């Protein structure tokens, strides 16, 4: 693939990266791959390099880079290989690439996503943590460089599709009353509360509707994922917390909705497949085939909605509170959650302790009301991780 717009994919071996490459492969006349990045999945990125022939491949460590480069040269491939955060930022901001799929999960994805924003790229944001952590800093970077920000989360992409083209984070001007984020409710929606302490990581990552990575699947089970999306929606669309609603919709057919002051509500619908928002962002403002089957409403049968129970999903309430608190609080929330989720996946803590750890870290870590720059974000992130680890290992 060498024709068309050049795309950088940050996190190419994850579920979003794999889906992005699937969509790109359907349109070789429109797109080519400039750079692929992965942390430690050498076999995965090697196979991707064989098929898509990127100009650059970035991995996490010097050892991983040596292994990948040796394998690529052995196959006669000329892809340049580099490693580390600096290299991620370089491929995200490189003059050769026009658009960046920011799909690195967690806080480590912030710096390269911000680099793409500052370089004026078309930023397809699948890394919700970038906006959760940096908020106004990220929005300012997009504005100053005249970059284009397109959300990839199915919920935010749905809202984007339901808003006027000229929206520009101005709800009052366009009569937007509120936005409604839908949530599947995860695998434990109807499970007895007193049994949640006994759930295993394997059960938590078995999402009933979506195919996702381990961390985001646990976040879906706790609904922290939806809480982070509330914070992201605030920054993406300029909507105050009190006008961002979450409803549980187990069928995952309606991906989100926008309610207007005239009583209208516009919803975006489709089968639960991330290739739909990926294809939408890649081609925007045009439309291209995604490879997803059309929605069959008769087969879907009925659509169900209910309000989330904060007793079952305390992480959702913690996220709303963090957004209201402002400043560095969302960054602290995110960092504490990442540590707690990993501890659960490593079987060091039980499922219900995830929310407990996050709540206690929010009480312990002193926050600044304003974020002065990336260094401030990372300082609070580091303090929250230390506090979370202290709670887990004490």
Q: Is 2 within 8 Å of 26 (Cβ atoms)?
A: no
Question: What is the reported pLDDT for 355?
Answer: 97
Whether 128 is in a domain gets the answer yes
Whether 292 is in a domain gets the answer no
Question: What is the reported pLDDT for 2?
Answer: 54
pTM of the model: 0.92
Span between the terminal Cα atoms of the chain, in Å: 52
Cross-strand pairs, 180: 245, 257
Rounded distance, CA 256 to CA 238, Å? 16
Q: How many residues does the chain have?
A: 394
Find the radius of gyration of the CA atoms of the chain. 20
Whether 190 is in a domain gets the answer no
Instruction: Retrieve residue 98's tokens.
Output: 């026009």
Question: What is the reported pLDDT for 1?
Answer: 41
Q: Is 306 within 8 Å of 247 (Cβ atoms)?
A: yes
Whether 200 is in a domain gets the answer no
Rounded distance, CA 196 to CA 188, Å? 8
Residues of the chain with pLDDT under 50: 1
Query: CATH no. for residue 43?
Result: 3.40.50.720
Tell me the per-residue pLDDT of 69-126, one tens digit each, with 9 for 90 and over: 999 999 999 999 999 999 999 999 999 999 999 999 888 899 999 999 999 999 999 9
Q: What residues have CB less than 8 Å from 11, skipping those under 6 apart?
A: 17, 37, 38, 101, 102, 103, 104, 105, 109, 126, 127
Q: What is the DSSP string of 89-123?
A: HHHHH-TT-SEEEE---SGGGHHHHHHHHHTT-EE
How many structural domains compose the chain?
Answer: 1
Rounded distance, CA 356 to CA 337, Å? 10
Task: State the maximum Cα–Cα separation within the chain, in Å, rounded to a whole number.
Answer: 64
Whether 208 is in a domain gets the answer no
Q: Is 155 within 8 Å of 244 (Cβ atoms)?
A: no
Rounded distance, CA 150 to CA 360, Å? 34
Whether 139 is in a domain gets the answer yes
Question: What is the reported pLDDT for 116?
Answer: 97
Tell me the per-residue pLDDT of 25-66, one tens digit each, with 9 for 90 and over: 999 999 999 999 999 999 999 999 999 999 999 999 999 999
Whether 244 is in a domain gets the answer no
Rounded distance, CA 392 to CA 394, Å? 6
Whether 16 is in a domain gets the answer yes
Q: Is 247 within 8 Å of 305 (Cβ atoms)?
A: yes
Question: What is the reported pLDDT for 300?
Answer: 86
Nearest alpha carbon to residue 310 among 223, 241, 387: 223
Residue 96: which domain range?
Answer: 5-151
Q: What residues have CB less than 8 Å from 203, skipping those under 6 apart?
A: 187, 188
């Amino acid at each position: 693939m060498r024709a068309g717009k050049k795309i950088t994919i940050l996190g190419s071996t994850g579920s979003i990266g794999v889906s992005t490459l699937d969509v790109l492969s359907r349109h070789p006349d429109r797109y080519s791959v400039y750079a692929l990045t992965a942390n430690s999945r050498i076999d995965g990125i090697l196979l991707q390099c064989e098929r898509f022939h990127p100009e650059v491949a970035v991995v996490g460590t010097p050892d991983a880079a040596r292994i990948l480069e040796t394998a690529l040269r052995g196959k006669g491939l000329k892809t340049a290989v580099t490693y580390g955060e600096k290299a991620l930022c370089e491929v995200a901001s490189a003059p050769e690439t026009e658009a960046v799929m920011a799909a690195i999960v967690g806080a480590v994805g912030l710096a390269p996503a911000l680099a793409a924003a500052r370089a004026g790229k078309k930023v397809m944001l699948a890394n919700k943590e970038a906006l959760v952590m940096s908020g106004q800093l990220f929005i300012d970077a997009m504005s100053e460089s005249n970059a284009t920000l397109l959300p990839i989360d199915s919920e935010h992409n749905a809202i984007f599709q339901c808003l006027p083209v000229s929206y520009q984070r101005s709800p009052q001007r366009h009569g937007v009353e509120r936005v409604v984020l839908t949530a599947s409710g995860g695998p434990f929606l109807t499970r007895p509360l007193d049994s949640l302490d006994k759930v295993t990581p394997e059960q938590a990552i078995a999402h009933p509707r979506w195919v996702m990575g381990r961390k985001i699947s646990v976040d879906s089970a706790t609904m922290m994922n939806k809480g982070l999306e509330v914070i992201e929606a605030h920054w993406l669309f300029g909507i105050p917390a009190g006008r961002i609603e979450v409803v549980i919709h187990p069928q995952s057919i309606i991906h989100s909705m926008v309610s207007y002051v005239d009583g209208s509500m516009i919803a975006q619908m489709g089968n639960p497949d991330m290739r739909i928002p990926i294809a939408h962002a890649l081609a925007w403002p045009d439309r291209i085939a995604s490879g997803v089957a059309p929605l069959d409403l008769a087969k879907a049968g009925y659509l169900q909605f209910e309000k989330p129970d904060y007793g079952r999903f305390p992480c959702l309430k913690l996220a709303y509170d963090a957004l209201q608190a402002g400043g560095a609080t969302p960054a602290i929330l995110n960092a504490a959650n990442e540590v707690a989720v990993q501890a659960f996946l490593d079987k060091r803590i039980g499922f219900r302790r995830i929310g407990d750890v996050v709540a206690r870290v929010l009480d312990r870590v002193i926050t600044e009301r304003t974020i002065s720059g990336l260094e401030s974000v990372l300082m609070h992130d580091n303090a929250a991780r230390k506090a979370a680890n202290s709670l887990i290992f004490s």
